[in-house]
Structure 1
Amino acid sequence: MSMKFDGRVAIVTGAGGGLGREHALALAKRGAKVVVNDLGGARDGSGSSATAAEAVVAEIEAMGGEAIANAASVTDYAAVEAMVQAAMDKWGRVDILVNNAGVLRDKTFAKMELEDFRFVVDVHLMGAVNCTKAVWEIMRQQNYGRIVMTTSSSGLYGNFGQANYGAAKMALVGLMQTLSIEGQKNDIRVNCLAPTAHTRMTEDLGAALPLEHLGPELVSPGVLYLVSENAPTRCILGAGAGGFERAYVTLTQGIRAVGEDAPEQIEAQFAAISDRDGEIVPDMGAAQGMIELGKLQKALG
């Protein structure tokens, strides 16, 4: 195994079970010291207990690794700061953050209470923001950091009954896009993982899935690569059942439409606007404006 994490310190949130547990164990097996964070609540975010995190720490210690348990809610910034400080006090650095903690409160948008929307966004998006903010300056000072945001196909492509979850998961892609640019000069690499795995988060879908082939341990190799020394940055990596794919946010070349009949031009030429021939993956948001200004320049001669 050439991919080692000796001397590295990792924080994995939501690591008391499922994907997070497998990520934590995989990192520990390859030498990382791990903060195992888990609130220990139910799937909808209710309740709390440190038992799950402590059990994973015991597993890591049993195989000769080093780990500490933490039961902070990722929605509580003061508790997250204390978690990071505990890692610094014990090991003196934080190299890796895997933002994995999550909850589900699925309902159709028509039936969903706004509180359930806010709560899911708070855990997934603001939880990742809180944890990332708490380690960001440490990583800047070290000139080294690896961060993974856990997005989802529900965010990238949509899923019935998951407006709250999908919105939060797509927001994490936007967060990753900007942080990867801002972290570049300090070698902080930020990526997204879009996993498919059978955990308690997906147990309601069990009858429709080949569960024996969807173990969370088949996703964790993707995380190891995304937080490794030679990790990419600004990558959206799909992972599940041993398969790995890459998703992109692309931009077509489009058309230029001006004048009073511009809406009608857009309607008439929507196929041309949608044509993927010559589409690009922009380096940053300004690329869209550059394409649009290029059309203007061409029109002006």
Structure 2
Amino acid sequence: MERQDMRFEGRVALVTGAGRGLGQQYAKLLAERGARVVVNDVGCQVNGAGRSPHSAGDTVEAIVKAGGSAIASADDISRREGARAAVTAALREWGRLDVIVNNAGIFIPQSFSDLTDDAWSRTLDTHIGGTFQVVRAGWEHMRDAGNGRIVNTCSATVYGLPGTAAYGAAKGAVLGLTKTLAIEGAEHGIKVNAVMPFAATRITDQTVPEGEFRSMFDRMFPAEKVACVVAWLAHEDVPCTGEIFETGGGYVRRVLLTVTTGQAWDRPTPENLRSAYTTIADPSHTWAPKDSNDALRSITQHLQDQAADIPDWIDTAPAP
């Protein structure tokens, strides 16, 4: 039997890139469950070109029409002043900010050999830059309140995908930022997690050719089925922090950064590594470090026969 519904009455959420697609579904579901929502979107095209104030306004209109509460923000959150303005809108209107959903993004598909400086810069500015700027703008308020929920957006492109060097690099940076923010936010009651969504959006409209596969994808992976995962991560009752969840079509799984058992030498040589590659790379026994210190601690344990007197400082050492 399900427990009481996960509601957001009394909570204020800022959702970036909420004018269409995934962000719009996140904003609508949070509002439907009682949150007051700042809908942020500059109204650009998929590649970041152009601006329109109507995008955020359309989502706000739909939320209000359904009985919810929302205001629009057309601020460019990839810039410090824009992120501050979006956060200030929440504080000015409702006096608080409890949830940040970093969803805004652009997509410029280019093979690495054709990747331009402009495409690289604009992609990173929007994804990792925007995530950083919005969190920085809201962090002090959440810290002082002793509470906060932040949901970032990663991507399966971190596994590697041709034509997505800039996009994958930006999302990999978001993953690393998520892990660190979760550790630093823990003492302040701030939980930070991320989603890797598979969903039919404007990006797939432009990158997946029409045909049987596209029809299947559009049918099986609607954006609404990702929204419930984001709402769960944004809720007060979410049990975890520093986690990444891959989701699409109603399927959800945890993403782990794991290491193999590996092998140690007193004096390793390139020849040692060549001979032992199969053992080093063997994925049959893997383990997920909880942070950088955990990884360092594990390595020293594998080197115990070389340094039996490993000092206690390893438990409190800062990450290298």
* 2:258 corresponding residue in structure 1: 250
1:79-136 residue CA offsets vs partner (Å, 9 max, x unmatched)? 2112211110111110000000000111100011122111101100010000000000
* 1:13 corresponding residue in structure 2: 16
Shift in Å at residue 279 of structure 1? Answer: 2.3
Structure 2: distance between partners of 1:86 and 1:300: 56
Is residue 236 of structure 2 the alignment partner of residue 233 of structure 1?
no
Structure 2: distance between partners of 1:177 and 1:79: 25
Shift in Å at residue 206 of structure 1? Answer: 4.8
1:251-297 residue CA offsets vs partner (Å, 9 max, x unmatched)? 222111343x6211112112221223442211210122212222222
Number of equivalenced pairs: 299
* 2:108 corresponding residue in structure 1: 105
SS in 2 for 1:219: helix
Over the residues paired in the alignment, what is the CA RMSD in angstroms? Answer: 1.3
* 1:136 corresponding residue in structure 2: 139
1:177 to 171, 176, 179: 179
* 1:72 corresponding residue in structure 2: 75
Q: TM-score, normalising length from structure 2?
A: 0.90
SS in 2 for 1:282: coil
* 2:317 corresponding residue in structure 1: none
Structure 2: distance between partners of 1:218 and 1:300: 52
1:283 to 277, 290, 298: 290
SS in 1 for 2:149: strand
Q: Unaligned regions of 5+ residues in structure 2, if any?
A: 309-320
Shift in Å at residue 236 of structure 1? Answer: 0.7
Equivalent pair of 1:97/1:148 in contact (CA under 8 Å): yes
* 1:215 corresponding residue in structure 2: 222
Structure 2: distance between partners of 1:31 and 1:181: 29
What is the identity, as a one-letter code, of the residue corresponding to 1:76? R
Shift in Å at residue 51 of structure 1? Answer: 0.1
SS in 1 for 2:194: strand
Structure 2: distance between partners of 1:122 and 1:266: 39
1:164-208 residue CA offsets vs partner (Å, 9 max, x unmatched)? 000000111100000000000111100110000011011121533
Equivalent pair of 1:257/1:266 in contact (CA under 8 Å): no
SS in 1 for 2:241: coil
Equivalent pair of 2:154/2:195 in contact (CA under 8 Å): yes
2:42 to 26, 39, 42: 39
* 2:197 corresponding residue in structure 1: 195
Sequence identity percentage: 37
